């Protein structure tokens, strides 16, 4: 009886093994195998196309793929998990590589069951397949800088920036260095076209008073908004003497050459002697009190600005020690909120200059607009929210005039304060 029961138990055990119902110690009779078959980068979609060949015991239906770069795991940018999970018998899949930096990287794969338990090899260790020495090399930003111009009076260096492979997610910043020290720089601005004219204001030193030509280095830094790839370029430039000083130098040389001629010197001395004699012996021709006519002075209008720019200072209650100061030369200029731009950034949008205010959700996307009317400047509330101007609430579609004698204080949103003054 016992012998027959043992035979029946062995038969049932064999049936369980054939259908995969063995206990944990015996469930994995077949070892795992996994090999990457094809790895193809797709830089346009910023993804990696993968296919593989694999075998696994019953129940191990998934593969977990991990991306590593510089010894660090690169998370899935969507799920924010260290592994990206796919079905094992599948067609080629796409891995999102938008957060991968250019350079070498490696792929690691684990075959797992529905509970995430890894498949084991013959030594009862988790089976892992790795593919290293791979390279992620997105195309570089191809651009040129040319057509340099120097305006001594405005203290600005202007050049043309052209992008061969332009796309709308590129940010640029330009700076000017002299002897390793930055003497001027732009804000970080969005490149909204494949060709733009860049104005770099010189804020350190006065190029209008140069006594010798100055050698400078113009640097341009470009980066994609998702920090996938960046590019830097430099261009050497010499700032010449301003035209006014060149004329003075020419005049000095002319006078020096004239003084070397004895005849010219004698003529100058005779003219000066004649003026002295006339001054001594000429009758007194000063007008009497009755002859004097008082000429009324032309009344001054203190509110008429003498310059063609408006200075804007931005502060917020959350960061009272930090402020952004901008000089606006082109009008009209909008002030509003754009979550894709840096706080305090000055950019171009819809044929208008745009000053961005971040970290204040009560600020409208287009809150204020600075307008120029001849030599007068006005500030219009073009948004749907109320703005407080010099302590007085200002309703939408209402304008106030800006004064050049004192700054106009404007409060918008929950914590943003602006000071505007023509100068």
**Contact between 173 and 187 (Cβ < 8 Å):** yes
**Contact between 357 and 335 (Cβ < 8 Å):** yes
Share of the chain above pLDDT 70, in %: 81
Question: Can you tell me the distance from the alpha carbon of 375 to that of 402, in angstroms, rounded to the nearest whole number?
Answer: 11
**Contact between 398 and 413 (Cβ < 8 Å):** no
Flag whether pLDDT at 33 surpasses 70: yes
pLDDT for res 228: 44
Question: Can you tell me the distance from the alpha carbon of 371 to that of 400, in angstroms, rounded to the nearest whole number?
Answer: 10
CB within 8 Å of 190: residues ≥ 6 apart: 168, 170, 171, 340, 341, 347
Question: Can you tell me the distance from the alpha carbon of 276 to that of 263, in angstroms, rounded to the nearest whole number?
Answer: 20
Strand partners, 394: 387
By mean pLDDT, which of 24-28, 63-67, 365-369 is the weakest? 24-28
Report CA torsion sign: 83, 84, 88, 94.
negative
Q: What is the pTM of this model?
A: 0.35
**Contact between 26 and 69 (Cβ < 8 Å):** no
Q: What integer is the mean pLDDT of 66-87?
A: 91
Question: Can you tell me the distance from the alpha carbon of 334 to that of 353, in angstroms, rounded to the nearest whole number?
Answer: 6
Flag whether pLDDT at 244 surpasses 80: no
């Amino acid at each position: 009886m016992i012998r027959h029961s043992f035979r029946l138990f062995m038969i049932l055990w064999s049936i369980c093994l054939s259908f995969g119902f063995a206990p944990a110690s015996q469930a994995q009779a077949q070892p795992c195998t996994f090999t990457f078959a094809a790895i193809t980068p797709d830089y346009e979609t910023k993804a990696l196309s993968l296919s593989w060949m694999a075998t696994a015991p019953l129940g191990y239906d998934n593969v977990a793929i991990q991306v590593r770069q510089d010894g660090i795991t690169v998370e899935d940018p969507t799920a924010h998990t260290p592994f990206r999970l796919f079905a094992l018998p599948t067609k080629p899949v796409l891995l999102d590589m938008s957060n991968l930096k250019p350079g070498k990287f490696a792929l690691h794969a684990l075959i797992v069951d529905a509970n995430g338990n890894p498949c084991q090899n013959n030594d009862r260790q988790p089976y892992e397949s790795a593919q290293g020495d791979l390279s992620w090399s997105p195309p570089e930003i191809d651009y040129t800088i040319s057509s340099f111009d120097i305006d001594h009076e405005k203290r600005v260096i202007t050049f043309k920036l052209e992008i061969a492979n332009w796309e709308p997610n590129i940010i640029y910043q330009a700076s000017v260095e002299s002897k390793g020290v930055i003497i001027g720089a732009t804000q970080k601005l969005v490149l909204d076209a494949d060709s733009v004219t860049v104005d770099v204001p010189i804020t350190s030193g006065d190029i209008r008073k140069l006594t010798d030509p100055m050698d400078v280095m113009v640097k341009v830094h470009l980066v994609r908004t998702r920090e996938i790839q960046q590019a830097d370029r430099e261009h050497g430039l010499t700032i010449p003497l301003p035209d006014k000083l060149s004329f003075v130098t020419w005049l000095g040389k002319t006078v020096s050459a004239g003084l070397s001629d004895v005849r010219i010197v004698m003529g100058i001395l005779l003219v000066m002697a004649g003026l002295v004699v006339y001054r001594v012996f000429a009758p007194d021709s000063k007008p009497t009190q009755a002859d004097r006519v008082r000429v009324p002075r032309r009344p001054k209008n203190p509110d008429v600005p003498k310059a063609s720019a408006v200075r804007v200072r931005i502060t917020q209650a959350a960061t009272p020690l930090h402020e952004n100061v901008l000089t606006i030369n082109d009008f009209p200029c909008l002030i509003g909120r754009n979550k894709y731009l840096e706080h305090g950034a000055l950019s171009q949008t819809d044929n208008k200059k745009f000053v961005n205010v971040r970290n204040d959700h009560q600020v409208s996307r287009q809150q204020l607009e600075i307008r120029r009317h001849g030599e007068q400047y006005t500030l219009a509330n073009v948004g749907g929210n109320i703005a407080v101007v010099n302590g007085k609430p200002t309703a939408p579609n209402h304008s106030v005039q800006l004064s050049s004698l004192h700054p106009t204080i404007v409060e918008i949103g929950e914590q943003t304060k602006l000071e505007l003054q023509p100068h």
